[in-house]
Structure 1
Amino acid sequence: MDQDPQAARAPNRRIALLIDADNVSHTNIAAMLAELSKYGTANIRRAYGDWGADGLKGWRGKLHEFAIRPIQQFSYSAGKNATDIALVIDAMELLYTQKPDAFCIASSDADFTPLVMQLKANGHDVYGFGERKTPAPFVNACTTFLYLDSLEVAAPAGTPKPPKAAKKSDDKPAKLPIAQDAKLIEVLRGAVEAAMYDDGWASMSAAGSTAKRQAPIDPRNYGVKNFPALFEATGVFDIVKADNGQTYVADKRNKDRTDKPAI
């Protein structure tokens, strides 16, 4: 989640953080809260699960440490996940009662996609955290989505890195090289076109913000730190830093652009 204009008003924005503890590791909570602090204060923090289950033992010590309210949800039927329903009900209740400025859904479950779409339809930003296996519909529905393995670069200094879990061949699909990611390049090209001046150049900050409005793009999900590095890695843009300190980007296909931005 790269910094954007809304971060300027971040201290006054109230965020409801709703965690599907069955699908998110407790080792990520410090980094998630640090990331959300760019956009506001997560003053509503709830984690959902069956807290008597062995699989959530690691979470129990984190609840008090990070002031997270545990929401107990029993599994009423074998093989059925009732946690999802409890989280959705709470989100809708919060929408009309506590009225937070934004929501954050931490899960890798695509079943939350309709919830995200409903919250956005009501005018709220929805930030998402999840694993690489998170289905595309949920990722694309969020205002911004950040893969949990990308949070290592965002964690505060001194935060211990979580132990790496054993890799499963079907859990984490191979990343497409940036220069071959046609969908990403299409979004970035559209962002430059929308943000460019008459000379064919767009400021990097405007192009990055425009790209994020089109799709839940965070450069760290692609293994780079920021939008300048992301645009450069595609190999299809020219990037220059002007004397005024601003960075500008232009599509190499645009033959009508000037050689340099007219500042």
Structure 2
Amino acid sequence: MVSDKERRIALFIDFENLVTNTGISPSTFDLQPAMDRLLERGKVVFRRAYCDWSRFREATRRLHDFGVELIDVPPSTRAGKNGADMRLVIDALELCYAREHIDTFAIASGDSDFCPLAYKLRENNRMLIGLGVKGATSPLFVKACDEFVYLKPPTTTKAAARRESPRKTSGERAAREIPPIAREVVAGLLARATGPLNPSLIKETIVRKEPDFDEREAGFSTFSRLLQEMERQGLLKRQQLNGRQWYVLPPDAAGSEKETGRGEDRNDAPSDAQRRESD
């Protein structure tokens, strides 16, 4: 997988799965948050959504506004079942083999039936990003992805923001809980390191082990802020080299604490490298 250039992303949406018993209704479905996350990683060159659109006419206008091609898959049985997932799989594999410049696939669904597709795409050196609603996504599919982004129902997002904002302002300086996976990865990497570690390596390792990791769920606006808190708790030491890039060292490593402390204030506005790794 290539990481040193802009990615070319193909987005496949299993629409019925995203709006059935997930808290997201067809009329309020908003693709913008998912598109924002994908556009941070590269260019979305292919966009398709699959379902029986006669059942979700109210959603078609919103999807058209994002340039999504709607693939209509009418019911194929009396019970109303359709072959949307099978059609999606076939199209994704065809694109994988026919368009080598597309190096990243995004599958918007929480269905574990897409696990075999995920394995095949990764086998063909494609990065796989999953998108789904947290309470309605199979853990098996999450683990099958290289990275997983949770979509939040609009009402849940607003209510959570109201509940969390007072806590953030009142205890902003208090020690916050470090996600266990972050502790585990940092400790393991530092134990084997022979020199300073790039923060992006730490973030990539965490995401490989836990594809749905998001530091914002633990209350940190960026990954750099999480590392700052870990330094305050004595789990690591950060050091700025050549006045630019920050690196991570073991907590007992020799270094100028004065330099690290002085640079922390400047680091409140992350560098380009930190912005890339914090997302």
Q: Quick check: TM above 0.5?
A: yes
Residue of structure 2 in register with 1:21 after alignment: 15
Deviation at 1:233, TM superposition (A): 5.1
1:179 positional shift: 3.5
Worse-matched range after superposition: 88-97 or 26-35: 26-35
Given the alignment of the two structures, is residue 136 of structure 1 paired with residue 139 of structure 2, yes or no? yes
**Structure 1: gaps spanning 5 or more residues:** 150-161, 168-177
Query: Which of 102, 112, 115 is the matching residue for 1:113?
Result: 115
Q: Judging changes above 3 Å, is the alpha-carbon distance between structure 1 residues 35 and 140 closer, same or farther for their aligned structure 2 residues? A: same
> Equivalents in 2 of 1:82, 1:224: separation in Å?
41
- Is 1:225–2:221 an aligned residue pair? yes
Cα separation, 2, equivalents of 1:208 and 1:22: 32
CA spacing shift, 1:208–1:192, aligned 2, 3 Å: farther
Distance in 1 (CA, whole Å) between partners of 2:157 and 2:31 is 20
- The alignment status of 1:39 with 2:69, answered yes or no, reads no
What is the distance in 1 between the residues matched to 2:151 and 2:207? 18
Give the letter aligned to residue 74 of structure 2. F
Shift of 1:101: 1.7
Deviates more, 1:236-245 or 1:15-24: 236-245
1:65 aligns with 2:65: yes
* One-letter amino acid of the counterpart of residue 102, structure 1: T
Alpha carbons 1:17, 1:103 under 8 Å: kept:
yes
How many residues are paired up?
A: 227
**Residue 206 of structure 1, CA deviation:** 3.0
**What's the TM-score, normalizing by structure 2?**
0.68
Q: Report the identity percentage.
A: 32
Tell me if 1:209 matches 2:207.
Answer: no
Q: CA deviation at 1:74?
A: 2.1
CA contact (8 A) 1:237 1:250 kept: no
Following superposition, the deviation at residue 127 of structure 1 comes to 1.1
Distance change (3 Å), C-alpha of 1:144 and 1:248: same
Query: How far off its partner does 1:94 sit?
Result: 1.2
Q: Secondary structure at the match of 1:108?
A: coil
Higher alpha-carbon deviation: 136-145 or 20-29: 20-29
Q: What do you get for the CA RMSD once the two structures are aligned?
A: 3.3
**Structure 1 residues 225, 193: CA separation in 2 closer, same or farther (over 3 Å shift)?**
farther
Paired with 2:10 and 2:73, the residues of 1 have a C-alpha distance of 19
1:246 corresponds to 2:245: yes
Alignment-derived partner of residue 83 in structure 1: 84
Counterpart of 1:197 in structure 2 is 194
8 Å CA contact 1:22–1:49 kept in 2: the answer is: yes
What is the identity, as a one-letter code, of the residue corresponding to 1:122?
A: N
Change (3 A) 1:236 1:139: farther
